[in-house]
Structure 1
Amino acid sequence: MNDLVSKQYGKIINLRNEGLHKYNSLFPHEFARIPTVHTRPHLVTDRLSRSRIHEIGLRHYDIGSHICVLNRPVPWVIGRKLIKNDDTVLDIGSSDGMFYKFLRFNNVAPRYSGLEIDETVRSETPVYGSMKEIHSTFNIVTMFHVIEHMTSEQFLEMMTDIVRILDPKGSLIIATPNILCPGVFERDVEHRQPYPWYDLYAILRLFFDNVEVRRGHYLSTPLRMASIPVRMILGILMEQDWCEEVVLVARGVHRFIEG
């Protein structure tokens, strides 16, 4: 067990129960009460929009010469609703800055910086190589499908850095696979540490006054859309979740003091 978690185990259990009561989800079959965000790919047929996609460099899939399809992952859509023009944004695990390009396509223009440890990745935006390089503050910090690739020790160490650089009125947005949805976490051999939403809620509450949870499901195919009623019924009967990811938004940052 992580040293911090070990020392704060009683507090974490209490905060876990706080989260379970907050969403009236004391039992697995009640997890469906947590608000769910569905997104689906965006079909683009307008010539000007397609030209802008190419200009920005946003990743897309062409269908013939007149139609293209854009991915709209749940965390991106939630992030777009929270981020405003001129917000300072740090995107941890930014890769080639595709989230920034998604924001630009949707007419949101933040002051964006990335953090990426892969030195082979090229990006048009400022990119830090580690948290130690960062000496400014940010309104928004995002971590989209990053923490599952870390050990719990690495994640908690990063949380102390996030507290240091996040504006007191800022927000942290974290997305991770929903370990309560069968097979999701196991899809990537590089996944190291799963986080049930209620435990992640408790950890974030050590550092923040308010944490909101959303379940996310990406309707990437017609089959996924058609199968939702079946998934919901089976989820209740088998006491499992059917949404593939969870997105948590934390606000009211405070410096956590052990003790």
Structure 2
Amino acid sequence: MINWSTLIDYRDQIHKRYPTIWDLKLIKRASRLIKTQLRPGMRVLDVGASDRRMERRIREVYSDVMYKSMDIDRGFYHDYYSLDGIDEQFNLITLLEVIEHLELEDGVEMLGRLKGLLATGGKLIISTPNIFHPNRFWQNTDHKVAYSYEELGGILLSQGFEIRGIYRAFNASFPKYFLRLTLFYPLHRILNVDFAKSIVVLAQRKD
């Protein structure tokens, strides 16, 4: 059950820290942020893992990381096909471009359950389409909930997480990247229309 008055207070905390979308640091990919959080021997759970491509990227950094995946899609092998079957804890959980596919109450419940799967000091990296991008959210007909960075950050606070950072993710060829950050940047600011396709949040279990 969502306590809306509490959520508004948490959302305001995020807004004070990041007053506008342009106050979020720009990164190229969520996977790069994930790599900065890896440590030798840590336990990683990839929720919504699809074809498990994240495993290869993780093992490029540390080959001894224990990687496990969870996805409801049985078209690929996964260690888990439901959160209900998970009975271990992890140092890092990733949830990339998943939460927007769930109804709001289900998404909030999932975040609470993921917190319970984190070991002490464990971290969650979550991404979702950037609603300041003109069409990113609407590219998939099965997207159910559009999250602003303030809303997502506030929900994470309400579920017992600390926010370590919120980022905008944009990856493109060098010419496109350069033009967006230089020539076209003032126009994006004036129109308040972002070119970054996703929002990425780094959160930590609050103990």
Q: TM-score, normalised by structure 2?
A: 0.92
Name the structure 2 match of 1:240: 193
2:8 corresponds to 1:13: yes
Work out the CA distance in 2 between the residues paired with 1:90 and 1:251.
14
- Percent identity between the two aligned chains: 24
2:85 corresponds to 1:133: yes
Q: 1:101 aligns with which of 52, 56, 59?
A: 56
CA 184–194 in structure 1, closer or farther in 2 if over 3 Å, else same: same
Confirm or deny: 8 A CA contact 1:103 1:109 kept in the other structure.
no
Name the structure 2 match of 1:174: 126
Within 5 A, what are the aligned runs for 1:1-259?
4-5=1-2, 8-23=3-18, 25=19, 30-37=20-27, 39=28, 74-122=29-77, 127-211=79-163, 212-220=165-173, 222-253=175-206
Q: Secondary structure at the match of 1:21?
A: helix
Of 236-245 and 13-22, deviating more is 236-245
CA 108–76 in structure 1, closer or farther in 2 if over 3 Å, else same: farther
Amino acid at match of 2:100: E
Amino acid at match of 2:105: E
Confirm or deny: 8 A CA contact 2:100 2:128 kept in the other structure.
yes
* Structure 2: runs of 5 or more not aligned: none
Work out the CA distance in 1 between the residues paired with 2:102 and 2:128.
11
Work out the CA distance in 2 between the residues paired with 1:160 and 1:231.
40
Q: CA deviation at 1:168?
A: 2.1
Q: CA deviation at 1:174?
A: 0.2
Work out the CA distance in 1 between the residues paired with 2:184 and 2:106.
34
CA 196–132 in structure 1, closer or farther in 2 if over 3 Å, else same: same
Query: Based on CA coordinates, which of the two structures has the bigger radius of gyration?
Result: 1
Q: Secondary structure at the match of 1:128?
A: coil
Amino acid at match of 2:170: H
Amino acid at match of 2:106: Q
Q: CA deviation at 1:230?
A: 4.0
* Structure 1: runs of 5 or more not aligned: 40-73, 255-259
Work out the CA distance in 1 between the residues paired with 2:174 and 2:44.
31
Of 8-17 and 234-243, deviating more is 234-243
Work out the CA distance in 1 between the residues paired with 2:162 and 2:174.
34
Q: CA deviation at 1:229?
A: 2.4
Q: Secondary structure at the match of 1:195?
A: coil
- Any idea what the Cα deviations from partners look like across 1:212-257, whole Å, max 9, x if unmatched? 2111111246334323324421222112333211110111335xxx
Confirm or deny: 8 A CA contact 1:84 1:108 kept in the other structure.
no
Q: CA deviation at 1:34?
A: 1.6
Work out the CA distance in 1 between the residues paired with 2:140 and 2:173.
18
Work out the CA distance in 2 between the residues paired with 1:227 and 1:162.
35
CA 83–137 in structure 1, closer or farther in 2 if over 3 Å, else same: same
Q: Secondary structure at the match of 1:168?
A: strand
